[in-house]
C-alpha cells in the first residue's frame, strides 16, 4: 500500500505531492546546499592533468589533460598538475610508452589560457613561461617514448607541447594545428621556434610561424608536423594507442637506450655520435631481456620482456 503525507482541508484527506515536499523552502535550505557543497568539493579536487594506466595495456600510460571546458588551455593550475604528472612518469619504470591526450573527445590543447594571462603581472608571466619551458623540456627528456594524440585544436603552447613528444598523431577531422603567436603580437615562447625548426627545417618553420598558418591534419602530415593521421573511423587517441601497443612489444630498456641515442644525435658530430651510441648499446648486452630475446628467437616464440 502506498504511503503519503496528508493534510486536512474541509475535512477531506488529500496527499501532499512529493514535489511540494522536495522543493519546499525548508528542504531547499537544509538539503540542497549540502548537495552543492559536495559537488563543488568533488570538482575542486579533480586535477587538470593526471597520469593514468591504460586499462588492458600493461606498460602503456596516459598523461591526460582534463580541462575540457577551456579546450585544455594551459592555466597555472593545469601547468602545475601537468608538471607533477611528468615528474611521476619520469621515475616510473613500469611505463614503456606514454600518450599525452585529452580527457574529452575533440580536444587536445588550445595553448595558454589568455583570459588568465590578462590578469597576470609581467613577473607572473615571466615565471609562468619559465615553468612552461621547464615542463616541456621535462616532457621531451622523459626516458620512454612519448606520443601526442591530437584529437582537437593544437595551437601555440598546445602545439609546442606536441612538439616536445617523440611522435604525433592527429585526428582525421582536426583543422587547427599551428603557431599563431605572431598574430597576437608575440612569438612562440615555450620552445616552438626551436623545436619546429629542428623538426621541419628553416623554411617550413619560418613559414609556419611568420604566417600563423592553421594546418589541417592532412596538411600537418604533409608538412611533417605530425607523423600519422587517424583513419576516418577512429580517434587520434585510438590510433596513438595502436602505435603505442606496437612500440610496447620492444624491450623496455632497449627503447630507453634507443631514445637516448637518437635524441642526442643532432647535438653531436658523427664520430661523437657513434661513440655515444656504443655507450648506450653496451649495457644492454648483459640484461636479462637480451637473453630472453635470444631464447625466444631460438624457440620461435614471442619474448616476454621484464625490463631488466
Among all residues, which ones are annotated catalytic?
112, 157, 160, 181
- The CB density around residue 208, as the number of other CB atoms within 10 Å, is 25
Looking only at the bridges linking them, the beta strands covering 60-65 and 49-53 are antiparallel
Instruction: Tell me the C-alpha distance between 78 and 107, whole Å.
Output: 15
* Of 252, 227, 253, the residue nearest 242 (C-alpha): 227
Which DSSP helix (H) or strand (E) runs through 16? none
255-293: burial string, b at 16+ Cβ within 10 Å, e else: bbbbbebeeeeeeeeeeebeebbeebeeeeeebebbebb
For 112, the 3-state DSSP assignment is strand
Task: Please give the grid coordinates belonging to residue 279.
Answer: 655507450
Amino acid at each position: 500500500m502506498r504511503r503519503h503525507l496528508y493534510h486536512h482541508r474541509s475535512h477531506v484527506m488529500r496527499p501532499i505531492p512529493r514535489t511540494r515536499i522536495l522543493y519546499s523552502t525548508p528542504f531547499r535550505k537544509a538539503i540542497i546546499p549540502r548537495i552543492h557543497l559536495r559537488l563543488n568539493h568533488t570538482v575542486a579536487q579533480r586535477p587538470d592533468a593526471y597520469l593514468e594506466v591504460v586499462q588492458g595495456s600493461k606498460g602503456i600510460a596516459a598523461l591526460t589533460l582534463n580541462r575540457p571546458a577551456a579546450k585544455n588551455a594551459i592555466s597555472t593550475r593545469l601547468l602545475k598538475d601537468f608538471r607533477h604528472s611528468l615528474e611521476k612518469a619520469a621515475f616510473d619504470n613500469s611505463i614503456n610508452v606514454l600518450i599525452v591526450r585529452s580527457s574529452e573527445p575533440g580536444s587536445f590543447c588550445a595553448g595558454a589560457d589568455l583570459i588568465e594571462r590578462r590578469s597576470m603581472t609581467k613577473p607572473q608571466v615571466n615565471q609562468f613561461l619559465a615553468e612552461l619551458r621547464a615542463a616541456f623540456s621535462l616532457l621531451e627528456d622523459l626516458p620512454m617514448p612519448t606520443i601526442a594524440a591530437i584529437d582537437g585544436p593544437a595551437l601555440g603552447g598546445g602545439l609546442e607541447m606536441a612538439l616536445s613528444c617523440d611522435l604525433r598523431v592527429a585526428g582525421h577531422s582536426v583543422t587547427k594545428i599551428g603557431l599563431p603567436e605572431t598574430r597576437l603580437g608575440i612569438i612562440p615562447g615555450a620552445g616552438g621556434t626551436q623545436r619546429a625548426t629542428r623538426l621541419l627545417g628553416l623554411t617550413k618553420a619560418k613559414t609556419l610561424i611568420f604566417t600563423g598558418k592553421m594546418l589541417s591534419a592532412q596538411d600537418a602530415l604533409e608538412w611533417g608536423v605530425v607523423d600519422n593521421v587517424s583513419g576516418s573511423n577512429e580517434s587520434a587517441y585510438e590510433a596513438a594507442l595502436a602505435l603505442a601497443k606496437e612500440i610496447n612489444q620492444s624491450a623496455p630498456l632497449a627503447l630507453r637506450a634507443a631514445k637516448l641515442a637518437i635524441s642526442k644525435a643532432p647535438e653531436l658530430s658523427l664520430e661523437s655520435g657513434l661513440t655515444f651510441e656504443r655507450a648506450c648499446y653496451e649495457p644492454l648486452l648483459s640484461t636479462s631481456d637480451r637473453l630472453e630475446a635470444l631464447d625466444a628467437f631460438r624457440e620461435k616464440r614471442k619474448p616476454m620482456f621484464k625490463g631488466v
